[in-house]
């Protein structure tokens, strides 16, 4: 399709269609303009953020980091009191805490201060 044909579909002058193409090439086109271009081409604009890894994996890894951090402070306190916990018991506690975090997962899961 020529820029003249695209301009006609968009209802703009040809120089504007050229400017739109240039903005797209430079990565400076707006979503609004993309939507208008999509409509002019009888298309639907789809805008999506796609995780690099499965979302379930990201959430589980985040829950594990939070659980390990929370357990670390407990482990430290117990060690100071000479009340160490067996590794197997600690791993079981970690699993339970991860599941608890996942069961309640929401915006708290993504707080940066934890």
| pLDDT tens column, 50-105 | 889 998 999 999 999 988 888 887 766 655 555 555 667 788 888 998 998 888 87
- Please determine, for residue 113, whether its predicted confidence score (pLDDT) is greater than 80: no
Among residues 57, 53, 65, the alpha carbon closest in space to that of 98 is found at 65
In whole angstroms, what is the distance from residue 114 CA to residue 100 CA? Answer: 16
Segments in 27-103 forming alpha helices (H): 31-40, 55-80, 87-103
Per-residue confidence (pLDDT) for residue 76, from 0 to 100: 61
In whole angstroms, what is the distance from residue 3 CA to residue 7 CA? Answer: 6
Per-residue confidence (pLDDT) for residue 5, from 0 to 100: 94
Say if residues 45 and 34 touch (Cβ distance below 8 Å).
yes
């Amino acid at each position: 399709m020529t820029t003249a044909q695209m301009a006609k579909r968009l209802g703009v002058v040809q120089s504007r269609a050229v400017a739109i193409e240039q903005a797209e090439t430079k990565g400076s086109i707006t979503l609004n303009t993309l939507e208008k271009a999509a409509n002019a081409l009888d298309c639907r604009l789809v805008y999506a953020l796609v995780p690099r890894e499965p979302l379930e994996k990201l959430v589980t890894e985040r829950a594990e980091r939070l659980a390990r951090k929370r357990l670390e402070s407990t482990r430290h306190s117990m060690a100071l009191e000479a009340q160490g916990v067996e590794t197997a018991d600690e791993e079981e506690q970690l699993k339970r805490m991860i599941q608890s975090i996942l069961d309640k997962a929401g915006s708290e899961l993504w707080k940066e201060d934890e």
